[in-house]
């Protein structure tokens, strides 16, 4: 029987029964991560690989903010990182083309948008069909778009959460891979709730990568 309670999390977060992270088979997945901010999800993926919870390797990080937390984590973790300042790109498509060139050079199997705060275009989505994932801090399809945590608080829901999903042209609307639910506590503000949601993001994102790889293997 699956265990419905997340006993590992003393904050009392709820957790749906989650798929076990099964090996995708064959060679380790070559993963690219895209990040704009702190990079805690990027590091969670690196650690999942290091600890054998994900049969993969994060081979490159792309960031769009020079000096962001994710970039500093990449330095500490000795993972190649490239900065793509979106303000220096002539268009969203040009930024996506530059990302594709980086990912192809690193022979990447899957790309994970882990706090990438730019809208991607069909140029990137079509270059990695079924291979581009995103993590979003809400239980989709609720609270798509900017600041899903603030949207959940404003709506007064009692359950918030996070979703790992495939990326399609419509924002935050692709196939859902894994979700986790987190109770909204009376004393929560945006920061506290987001911190608890992020702990669940760090758990489900490696699982979602495995699931995406399994979907590809099954055709």
Distance CA 141, CA 160 (A): 12
Nearer to ligand GAR, 105 or 185 (CB): 185
Residue from the set 29, 48, 114, 211 that interacts with ligand GAR by CB under 6 A: 114
Q: Does 71 contact ligand GAR by CB under 6 A?
A: no
Q: Contact between 23 and ligand GAR (CB under 6 A)? A: no
Residues 175-204 that bind ligand GAR (CB under 6 A): 198, 201
DSSP string, 141-156: TSS-SS-HHHHHHHHT
In the list 21, 56, 137, 206, the residue contacting ligand GAR (rule: CB under 6 A) is 137
How many other β-carbons are positioned within 10 Å of the β-carbon of residue 165?
A: 21
Preceding peptide of 141 cis, ω within 30°: yes
- Number of Cβ within a 10 Å radius of residue 214: 15
- Cα–chain-centroid distance for residue 214? 17
Q: Which is nearer to ligand GAR, 21 or 115 (CB)?
A: 115
Of the two residues 101 and 141, which places its CB atom closer to ligand GAR in the complex?
141
Structure tokens at 151: 């949207």
Piece in contact with ligand GAR (CB under 6 A), picked from 13-21, 30-38, 119-127, 179-187:
30-38
Q: What is the Cα–Cα distance from 24 to 29, expressed in whole angstroms?
A: 8
How far does Cα 182 stand from its chain's mean position?
17
Alpha helices in 38-91 (DSSP H): 40-50, 69-77
Interface with ligand GAR (CB under 6 A), residue from 40, 55, 71, 200: 40
> Pick from 39, 40, 45: which is nearest to 59 by CA?
45
d(CA 40, CA 198): 8
Q: Of 101 and 175, which CB lies nearer to ligand GAR in the complex structure?
A: 175
Q: Is 206 in the site for ligand GAR (CB under 6 A)?
A: no
Question: Among 135, 160, 164, 213, which residue interacts with ligand GAR (rule: CB under 6 A)?
Answer: 135
Residue 161 as a binder of ligand GAR (CB under 6 A): the answer is: no
Catalytic residue among 86, 136, 165, 194: 136
Q: Is 86 among the residues known to form the active site?
A: no
Give the active site residues. Answer: 136
Interface residues with ligand GAR (CB under 6 A) are: 35, 37-41, 70, 114-115, 135-137, 148, 198, 201
């Amino acid at each position: 029987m699956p265990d419905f309670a997340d006993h590992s999390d003393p904050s009392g977060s709820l957790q749906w029964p989650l798929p076990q992270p099964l090996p995708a088979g064959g060679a380790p997945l070559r993963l690219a991560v895209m990040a704009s901010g702190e990079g805690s999800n990027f590091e969670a993926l690196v650690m999942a690989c290091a600890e054998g919870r994900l049969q993969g390797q994060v081979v490159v990080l792309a960031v769009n903010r020079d000096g962001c937390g994710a970039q500093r984590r990449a330095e500490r973790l000795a993972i190649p990182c490239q900065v793509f300042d979106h303000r220096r790109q002539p268009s969203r498509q040009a930024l996506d083309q530059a990302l594709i060139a980086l990912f192809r050079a690193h022979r990447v199997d899957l790309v994970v948008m882990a706090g990438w705060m730019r809208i991607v275009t069909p140029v990137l989505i079509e270059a990695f069909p079924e291979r581009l994932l995103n993590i979003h801090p809400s239980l989709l399809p609720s609270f798509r778009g900017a600041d899903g945590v603030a949207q959940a608080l404003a709506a007064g829901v009692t359950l918030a959460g996070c979703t790992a999903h495939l990326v399609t042209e419509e924002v935050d609307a692709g196939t859902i891979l894994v979700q986790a639910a987190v109770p909204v506590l009376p004393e929560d503000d945006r920061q506290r709730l987001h911190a608890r949601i992020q702990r669940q993001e760090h758990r489900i994102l490696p699982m979602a990568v495995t699931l995406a790889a399994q979907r590809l293997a099954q055709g």
